[in-house]
Amino acid sequence: MKIILLFGLLALAAAQFTNKRNENSDTKFLAYLKSDYQPCVGTLIHQQWVVTAAHCYLPYLQVKIGTANQNVKGWLQDQELNYEFIFRHPNFTADSPEHDIMLIKLAKSKHLHVLVDLPIGVNDLDRSICIISGWIQNWKYPMRDADIQISQMARWLPPLQCKGASSRNITIKNMNNMFCAGMYPYQQNFCQEVSAAVAICKGQLHGILSWTDGCVLKGDIGFYTKVSRYIDWILDIIKKN
């Protein structure tokens, strides 16, 4: 009974976040990564570096940063940024969700934007509340840029609960490099959300969405690359480039 009541209260709180445009600067660290194939979400972690999922390695990439409170299609031309280099994690392969992380070095530093902190330490945050942020596209106009920026509460779930949370036959050799989070363990919504939504937990970037069977921006469970496991790699790439 206590567990049911707890999830009910969390679901009620989550409803306050869902389906609302962001009207403050809290998510201005988000980057919209546009390509000819599919858009992705990125996160500004340094004045010249964006982190995203490795499966977002796409041709003709455009990077837009800084106005998460507006529709992406309304962004000004001078907010499109060029990039110098892209670094996918060397152990990432297209047939596995493991090591699904990538760094993008911008051609110029952006000093007026909000950065998000990287996690300190590698401890799991089981049962902690995280904020999942990204964009949803309008079903009526699927070929347009995403037009609704949403933040949704989610609970970091224990590993045992993650095992039965996906219907996909996906083999993960080391689940320590990933975690799952969501508000509604037995729910699967449908939406056209931008790939690689981010999970901010306790004010730090802890997760980058690798895959989901539903819609994480509506509270469904998603599987995230655990950023804390890649801090050494991130800092090494930034230092050398």
Judge whether 142 and 187 are in contact, CB under 8 Å: no
Catalytic residue chosen out of the listed positions 89, 99, 100, 206: 100
Active site residue 100: yes
The two three-digit tokens of residue 148, written as one number:
């609704």
**3-state per-residue secondary structure call for 12-33:** HHHHCCCCCCCCCHHHCCEEEE
How many residues are given for the chain? 241
Catalytic residue chosen out of the listed positions 55, 89, 99, 206: 55
Q: How far apart are the first and last CA of the chain?
A: 54
Judge whether 132 and 164 are in contact, CB under 8 Å: no
**What does the buried/exposed string (b/e) look like for 220-234 if buried means 16 or more CB atoms within 10 Å of the residue's CB?**
bbbbbbbbbbbeebb
Catalytic residue chosen out of the listed positions 151, 195, 210, 228: 195
Beta-carbon neighbour count of residue 201 at 10 Å? 22
| Sequence-separated (6 or more) residues with CB below 8 Å from residue 167 | 213
Q: In whole angstroms, give the CA distance from residue 65 to residue 20.
A: 19
Active site residues: 55, 100, 195
